[in-house]
Structures are given as C-alpha cells and as structure tokens.
Chains A and B, each alone.
Chain A
C-alpha cells in the first residue's frame, strides 16, 4: 500500500486521487466541485457519480500551467451543503487532530489534506464559510477571496452569487502565492472581469475592528484564544477597536434564503440526463423520470435546501424572503463599508466552538447547523475577502481567527497572515501510523 493510500484510508480526505509520483513544481488538490479532466467530479453527490468532465475548471487549469501536479479531488458536503462535511455521498473526512471530530465543511477534505500532507496546497470553495470553517477546525491557513476574484468557470454551482474559489495551506505565504496564480479575469466568467489587479506588494494591516455583536455566543474555549489573539495583534502594532454592527444578525437568514433560492435553481439541471448517473427508466414520462431520479440520488440536506429555496422563490413568498434577503444583503454591505472607512479589517473568531464530535453533530437540528455559521456568513454574503489563521489549541483542537477586509483588499489579509505566522507556533497533527 502506498503512503498516500494509507493516509487517505485513515482520513478519507480524497474522493479520488492518484498515488503516482508527483512530477510538478508543486502538488495540489482540488475540491470535488471543481471540474478536472483526469478525475471524476461529483461535488460530493451520488447524482454525479461517474461524471468525468471534458475540461478543467479555470483555477485548476491555471495551477497546472504554473507547474502544479493535481493529486486528487477532496471530499466535501454534497454540493457544499453543510458545515461539517458530514453530508457527502462518499464518506466523511476525519479531523487530523481527533478522528472522532469533524474537519469542518464544506471544504473538509481540502483542509484535512492541507493539514496532513507535506508541502501541499488545496483549492477550496466557499459559499457561506466553507474555506475558513474547515481551515479553523483543521488548524491551517485559508483564504476565500472577493467574489469575482477567481473565475468560477468549471465550478459546479451551489449559489452563483456567493461561490468563491480560494486556497488552504499549512503555510501562510502559500495563500498569496497561489491566490495570485488562480486569480484574474476569465472571459468564461463575466463576474471575474470587473476586478482590479492585485497589487504586486501586499499592504500592511494597521487596524482592525471587532464587532460587539459577533462575539456574543462564543464558547469559553474559543473566547480565551480570541482575546489572547487580540493582544497578539496589538503587540504586532495593529490597533484594535470595538464597533457596533447591529445588522450582522440578519446575515444568517438573508444568506440561507439567497443560497437556497439559487441552489434550488442550479440543481434543476441534475435530472438524470447528460451528467453522472443516468440509470433511470427512459420509458417514463418527463416529469416522472426527473422526479424519480432526483428523489433517488439527492441526499437529505440537498432535498431540504431545494425545498427551502423553491418555497422562498414561490409566488406569494418571493417578496418576503428572496427579494427581501437581497435588500438586506445591500444593508450589510453598506455597514461593512462604513466600518472599513476607519480600519483595514474586521476580526472575529472563525467558528464559535472547536470542532464538534460526530455524535454531537448527529444531535443537531438543521437550524442548529445553520446557526453555527453566524460568524462566517457575513463576509460570504457580502462577497468580501476573508481568511482564517490558526490562533491556538483548546483540548488539543485548533482554534481559528478570522479577518475580513473590503472588496478586492486581499493583499491586506495576505500580509497579516505572513506576519501572524512569525509569532505563532503551529502544532501540525501527528499523522496516524
């Protein structure tokens, strides 16, 4: 058995991979919702089993052109629907610090690969926190850039006004190095074509704001490390101030309405023709065929979000939910812009608790899981770049610190990550024998 196969058998971070000797300048993995010609791309869903795309997603294409060797596709919640990577159709990735706990989600496999593999960079995708949450739980660095910074061509959509491709690594400098490779305008994705260029030299972070509303409901274990992190930032010469951002509490419902609405339309394409599984009974009529197929292969959370998103767009409800959520998103963007007139970044814990055990996750309701995202949702809803850095360990489990900056100001986050790393002692997980 090869070393990689042995490691993957333990952690289940890959849905498919090659154990061939890497032959590139660097080795990387890609989340399973990014299409690639040499691996299946299933987005964690049984409905896409067997799907071999005929093209590479732009971020993967750019990584290969830069000399990267794609080692495999990382496990994830089905279509990105989850916070713990427990909703995959292909096994559940295990936290490298405790196999009984979650890697976080939905880019759980990506964070796990970044944590357990040496000199590895993982491409992840974030819709509501799916890069920073697993980065926090697995003790690595992770950045989700501004919406539109990285082309989404070849990304299997979850929610197209929210999806962002980003980078995870155990090394802070990798975030900037590889983000610059995958960023840039792409004629295949018009939302990538309005971006300003990233500056060649990253600007220093000088001041941060802590929203008072965002530090309510944080577990003691996380809060202890957050407060110590603020002291560390001060010792780095960064001003820390507290601000009021009362609209942040509306981000979670606004996000889930928009995300589910968009997901319910995006998933309409999966009907048993053209992609993945196509084993339905073709003698059935159109409606019966599509219905039987979707009912058989979509997982539990996918069905829940399709129902939620279909409802929030229905005649009679759309104004109250979908259209209202879009207006609330604008309010939250304005609130952030106001705060950024006086500081470079907003800082909060990444997640309100350390990675939960799988038995604890099994006892959470759908709403409990959605609420767990309340810190990571605001920057995602507003399309603002955000990053998690490891900031401590509680009961042996990593704790993450999240920075959010204004649209297109990734460079301020990248410089902060490199400075942070100089004063932080990372404890890489011991890879099981």
Chain B
C-alpha cells in the first residue's frame, strides 16, 4: 500500500502518523491485504448477514425510565454548568 493511501486512510480514521509509522503500517497492510486476496477465489453466499445468527428486533415497552442517573455519568467527564466540554467547533 503506497504512502498516499495510508495517509488518506489515516486522515479518515483521525490518526496522525509519523513518517516511520506511515512506512511501517504501509508495509504491514500491503502484506496483509496481499494475503487477503485469497477471498477472491471463493464466491461466497448470495446473501450476507451482519450477524452469525438470525437476530430479530426485540422491543421493550416504550415506558420512560432512568437506569443510571445523569449525574453519575457526568462524574467521569469534563463539564461546565452541567454540559460536557469539548473542543472548539472551528
């Protein structure tokens, strides 16, 4: 995998890689994807499932409830006047 593609993938994945990492991961991914080419040999099934078992929608009664108090969840976060703090929007 050439360096430009690794850089593009890293940008999409929000990873800032050093020159050494770009080169190393590029070599690793090239070797891995070359091996994965064997997937081209097999047609696979016509259908594809996102889970290995059949999963049905299971819905509970639509009744409001509170499993965990919001204050408990906020304890582990940086907050300001009850709001979660994040980076600048621009």
A binds B: yes
Is A307 a contact partner of B48 (Cβ separation < 8 A)? no
- Which one of B29, B42, B47, B55 has the greatest number of beta carbons of chain A within 10 Å? B42
B37 nearest CB neighbor, chain A only: A253
Best-buried of A52, A191, A271, A334 by chain B (most CB within 10 Å): A191
Q: Is the interface of B mostly helix, strand, loop or mixed?
A: loop
- The proximity string for A residues 277-302 relative to B, scoring 1 for CB distances below 8 Å and 0 otherwise, is 01011111111111110110010000
**Contact yes or no, B9 A325, CB < 8 A:** no
Contact: B15 with A294, CB < 8 Å? yes
B contact residues around A162 at 8 Å (CB):
52
Given A283-B88, A303-B15, A307-B13, A367–B48 Cβ distance below 8 Å?
Answer: no
Name the one of A247, A295, A327, A384 contacting B48, with C-beta atoms under 8 angstroms.
A327
Beta-carbon nearest neighbor of A302 in chain B: B15
Q: How far is the CB of A124 from chain B (nearest CB, A)?
A: 19
How many chain A residues touch B (CB < 8 A): the figure is: 76
Contact between B36 and A256, CB atoms less than 8 A apart: yes
A271 to B77, alpha carbons, bound, how many Å? 12
CB of A415 closer than 8 Å to a CB of B: no
Q: Which residue of A lies closest to B16 (CB)?
A: A295
| Given A324-B39, A367-B35, residue A287 in contact with residue B14 (CB < 8 A) | yes
Assess whether B73 is in contact with A54, with CB atoms less than 8 Å apart.
Answer: yes
Q: Decide yes or no whether A119 CB sits under 8 A from chain B.
A: no
Chain A residues with Cβ under 8 A from B36's Cβ?
253, 256-257, 321
* Given A187-B60, A314-B12: A282 touches B85 (CB 8 Å cut-off): yes
Which of chain A's residues have a CB closer than 8 A to the CB of B25? Answer: 303-304, 307
B65-77: CB near A (< 8 Å → 1, else 0) gives 0011100110111
Using Cβ atoms and an 8 Å threshold, which residues of chain A touch B47?
A: 327, 330
CB of A291 within 8 A of CB of B12, answer no
Write the chain B residue with the least CB distance to A283.
B88
Tell me, rounded to whole Å, the shortest Cβ–Cβ distance linking B4 to chain A: 13
Q: Which residues on A sit within 8 Å (CB–CB) of B87?
A: 272, 280-286, 288-290
Chain A: which residue is nearest B5 at the CB level? A311
- Encoded as 1 (CB less than 8 Å from any B CB) or 0, chain A from 238 to 274 comes to 0000000001011001101100000010001001111
Within 8 Å CB of A190, what residues of B?
A: 55-58
SS class of chain A's interface: helix, strand, loop or mixed? helix
Contact B9 A311 (CB under 8 A): yes
CB-CB nearest in chain A for B71? A54
State A79–B39 Cα separation when bound (angstroms). Answer: 26
Q: How far is the CA of A256 from the CA of B36 in the complex (A)?
A: 9
Closest to B44 in A: A327
CB under 8 Å from chain A, chain B span 45-62: 45-58, 60
Q: B63 to chain A: closest CB distance in Å?
A: 12
Q: What residues of chain A lie closer than 8 Å to B13, measured between beta carbons?
A: 264, 294, 306-307, 310
B86 contacts partner chain A, Cβ-Cβ < 8 Å: yes
- Closest partner residue, chain A, to B41 (CB atom): A250
* Residues in chain A near residue B14, CB distance under 8 A: 268, 271, 287, 290-291, 294
Contacts of B1 in A (CB 8 A): 311
Which of B10, B45, B52, B58 is A187 in contact with, Cβ under 8 Å?
B58
| B77 near A311: Cβ-Cβ < 8 Å | no
Q: Give Cα distance in the complex from A55 to B17, angstroms.
A: 35
Q: Which residues of B contact A187 (CB under 8 A)?
A: 58, 60
Q: For the complex, is B2 an interface residue (Cβ under 8 Å from A)?
A: no
Q: Are B12 and A327 in contact (CB under 8 A)?
A: no
Q: Is there an interface contact between B48 and A323, defined as CB atoms closer than 8 Å?
A: yes
Tell me which of B32, B60, B86 contacts A256 (CB under 8 A): B32
Within 8 A of A (CB), among B20-43: 21, 25, 28-29, 31-33, 35-36, 38-43
A-B contact pairs, 30 of them (CB 8 A): A54-B69, A54-B75, A148-B51, A257-B36, A257-B39, A273-B78, A281-B87, A282-B85, A286-B90, A288-B87, A294-B13, A294-B14, A295-B17, A298-B15, A307-B15, A308-B32, A310-B13, A311-B9, A320-B40, A325-B39, A327-B43, A327-B48, A330-B49, A331-B44, A334-B45, A365-B28, A366-B32, A367-B28, A383-B51, A407-B53
Q: Which residues of A contact B (CB under 8 A)?
A: 50-52, 54-55, 146-148, 161-162, 187, 190-191, 193-194, 247, 249-250, 253-254, 256-257, 264, 268, 271-275, 278, 280-292, 294-295, 298, 303-304, 306-308, 310-311, 314, 320-321, 323-331, 333-334, 365-367, 370, 381-384, 407
The 9 closest A-B pairs by CB, nearest first: A327-B44, A383-B52, A289-B87, A330-B45, A326-B48, A193-B58, A54-B72, A253-B36, A295-B16
What 20 new A-B contacts, CB under 8 Å, besides A256-B32, A282-B78, A328-B39? A54-B69, A54-B73, A148-B51, A194-B54, A253-B38, A253-B39, A273-B77, A273-B85, A290-B14, A291-B16, A303-B21, A303-B25, A304-B28, A311-B29, A325-B39, A329-B52, A331-B42, A331-B45, A367-B31, A381-B52
